[in-house]
Amino acid sequence: MNYFIRGVAVVATVGAMSLLAFSLPSGGEARGDGGGHDLMPRQTNTNWQQECGSCHLAYPPSLLPKASWRRVMADLDAHFGENASLEPATQADIQRFLEIHAADSGNSRMGDRVMRRAAPAAAPLRITETRWFVREHHEVSRATWSRKSIGSAANCAACHRQAERGVFEEDTVKIPR
């Protein structure tokens, strides 16, 4: 009987806690660069993770400049051929997060690397259009990109097995057959 009560209490507490966690406003704080070998800033935002991350990897904001993110977010009804429209409050929250951590926001080494290679005032819509991306992936052939196991260059996680955790280092790459 005692165990039953304890069980009920545990379930209720966990339920209440997870509800709280989901209802809390999502923070836009960066936790800074991962340090050492991990160049991708480990920042996160609940809306970004949930909304962007349900169709593709929630792409790290430091891979595109602010102007690019503004272009992307201005056209979510036709987002690379898909409807990715959002509630206005959610959209504003994500846009703020993206801009705070954009490549040209000056607060990540990853962003600095992307901007060093960028043409002045360029606002590419795709990460794959940045000079940084093209250079880093020059050895990957077109045939590899189009493998069924990969699909497209937008599918970072196909090869970067720890991409969900913000890890993109070369030694974590495994290209699927």
Partner 1 sequence: MIKRLAGPVLLLLSVSALADAPADFTARYAAQAGVAASTLSPARGEAFYRLERAHPAGAKRSCAGCHSVDPRQAGRTRVGKRIEPLAPVVNGARFTDAAKVEKWFRRNCMDVLQRECSAQEKGDFVAWLSQLK
How many residues make contact with partner 1 (CB under 8 A)? 27
Spatial contact of 163 and 157, defined as CB atoms under 8 Å apart? yes
Output 57 or 100, the one with its CB closest to partner 1: 57
By the rule CB under 8 A, 11 interacts with partner 1: yes
Spatial contact of 59 and 160, defined as CB atoms under 8 Å apart? no
Stretch that binds partner 1, among 32-40, 77-85, 108-116, 165-173 (CB under 8 A): 77-85
Closest by Cα among 95, 53, 97, 48 to 73: 95
Residues near 129 by beta carbon (within 8 Å), at least 6 away in sequence:
none
The residues with which 79 forms a beta bridge, in sequence order, are 82
Output 23 or 119, the one with its CB closest to partner 1: 23
Residue numbers 100-139 binding partner 1 by CB under 8 A: none
Q: Of the candidates 123, 125, 140, 154, which one interacts with partner 1 according to CB under 8 A? A: 154
Closest by Cα among 136, 43, 158 to 96: 43
Question: Rounded to an integer, what distance in angstroms lies between the CA atom of residue 104 and that of residue 49?
Answer: 21
Q: Of the candidates 56, 70, 109, 113, which one interacts with partner 1 according to CB under 8 A? A: 56
By the rule CB under 8 A, 150 interacts with partner 1: yes
How many residues are listed for the chain in this entry? 177
DSSP 38: E
By the rule CB under 8 A, 82 interacts with partner 1: yes
Output 38 or 51, the one with its CB closest to partner 1: 51
User: Which residues bind to partner 1, rule: CB under 8 A?
Assistant: 5, 8-9, 11-13, 15-16, 19, 54-57, 77, 81-85, 87, 150-152, 154-155, 157-158
